[in-house]
Amino acid sequence: MASESATALYILSIGDRLYQTVAISIIIMSTIGNVCNCFVFLCIPPLNKHPNALFIIGSSVGSFFFINIGLSSAVIRVYTGTDPSHKWLFWCKLATWFTYSSGCFSFMCNCFAALGQFLLTLPRIRWHRLITHIRAQIMLFCTAIIWFFIFLPFPIFYIHVPSSNTTFVCTSSYPLMTRYGTYWIIIGYYFLPIILILILFCLTRYNLQQLLRRRRTLDAAVTRMMLIQMCILLISGIPAGLYLCYILATQYVAKTTLRFAYEYLILLVLKEELVLLSRPYGDDVAFVKSSNDHISYRISRNRHHGLDPYLFAHTLILSCLEQNERIQGSSSIHSLVHRALGCAEKVSVFRSFMLIRRNNLIICSHPQYHCDSSPFQLSSLSIRTI
């Protein structure tokens, strides 16, 4: 168990190093690219007269907020040890709302730009006139309003829940909101943009050859740019969407610490590839610490309280393995027994904490009364290091 915990800790540290390097690079490069896109399609003729100019500007603005707000909390946590969303309630509410809304808005703008470019590559002139400046403004305004209203429950129902005497977790106060947000993220981030872009990519690529024959160099250049962007979205979005389906399909399966660490690292790589914060919430992860080689954990299979198991597990594993702190956890815990390399003893305890070492009861807390509306029930007993 000690070697498995050490491996899990090493994998989680790789994730932190990715945030320290890759995430910072993504923020810097995407900020420069989005600002350049806005400048080019706002100020430089004839690109500022292009029918897709507003869609590309809208996509860049949404991407700017999506990337900078979404990744900044994780980067700050890695460098300072404090997650702003767990420290400030207003950031917990607004960051979640703006991250998801601006991300879906940006992806839909990419779909609109792909649709507009496909219409411009058609041979008949009347199709070119379907996307006008006024219609583009109306489409952008309606899309922004729709996505902001879809994710409006997030700032309403997201609260700070105590995870210890001094720390909080940013999570939803209602389990239903967790599923609501997860499925809308699947629709807005993955399936809807990927299906539309895949269809438009194939059609636009076919029409590009006709543009080259007619020597419409400006439209051909913009079309190439759009094809490259669509190709990048497909390459990064399809693996991330399939992996999210795997996470949702296995969310009720009991997983080891090492499996959690591997899934966390894979999800982090896919998220930074697509610049996407879409970890599914739902499983309550609880840890109890006795010593550096004693960690107990359980995934509750019948409770959905809105905690992020990956972030929660990551934080508590680091606290248990790297520091000698007293950790308290949720009720109803499975405690794994310290063993050399032989068989392990396993005990299921309901509404109480229990620590067993070599078949001997070391410590047991008083029974707890779990409140179903509380996502994380603290123990009444502080588990001491033995």
Give one DSSP letter per residue of 145-181, joined into a string.
HHHHHHTTHHHHHEEEEESSSS-EEEEESSHHHHHHH
pLDDT reported for residue 280:
32
pLDDT reported for residue 236:
61
pLDDT reported for residue 251:
59
pLDDT reported for residue 211:
61
Side-chain-side CA neighbours of residue 221 (13 Å): 6
Q: How far apart are CA 213 and CA 159, in angstroms?
A: 58
Q: How far apart are CA 257 and CA 323, in angstroms?
A: 18
**CA-based torsion, 286, 288, 289, 293: positive or negative:** negative
Return the domain boundaries, the chain.
31-231, 283-364
pLDDT reported for residue 135:
92
Q: How far apart are CA 179 and CA 248, in angstroms?
A: 10
* Peptide bond connecting 375 to the previous residue in cis, omega within 30 degrees of 0: no
pLDDT reported for residue 270:
67
- Give alpha helix (H) positions in the chain: 2-18, 24-43, 53-80, 84-87, 89-120, 125-128, 133-150, 153-157, 175-185, 192-214, 217-249, 257-274, 309-322
pLDDT reported for residue 58:
92
pLDDT reported for residue 350:
32
Helix 217-249 / helix 257-274 crossing angle, nearest 10 deg: 160
Which H/E stretch holds residue 334? strand 333-336
pLDDT reported for residue 324:
43
pLDDT reported for residue 248:
62
Q: How far apart are CA 89 and CA 87, in angstroms?
A: 7
pLDDT reported for residue 227:
67
Q: Burial-class residue 192 by CB neighbours within 10 Å (0-12, 13-18, 19+).
A: middle
Q: Which is nearest to 171 in space by CA: 375, 328, 330?
A: 375
Q: What is the pLDDT of residues 5-18, one digit of tens each?
A: 777 777 777 777 77
Q: Which residues of the chain have pLDDT under 50?
A: 215, 276-386
> Which residues 6+ apart lie within 8 Å of 108 measured at CB?
143, 147, 188, 192, 193
Q: For the whole prediction, is pTM greater than 0.75?
A: no
What SS3 class is residue 256?
Answer: coil
Please state whether 77 falls in left (phi above 0), alpha (psi between -120 and 50) or beta. Answer: alpha
Q: Which is nearest to 170 in space by CA: 178, 270, 127?
A: 178
pLDDT reported for residue 21:
76
368: amino acid identity, one letter: Q
Contact between 379 and 368 under an 8 Å Cβ cutoff? The reply is yes
> Which residues 6+ apart lie within 8 Å of 246 measured at CB?
none
> Which residues 6+ apart lie within 8 Å of 290 measured at CB?
296, 355, 357, 362, 383, 385, 386
Fold of 31-231: Rhopdopsin 7-helix transmembrane proteins (1.20.1070)
Q: Which residues of 331-346 are buried (b: 16+ CB within 10 A; e: fewer)?
A: bbbbbbbbeeeeeeee
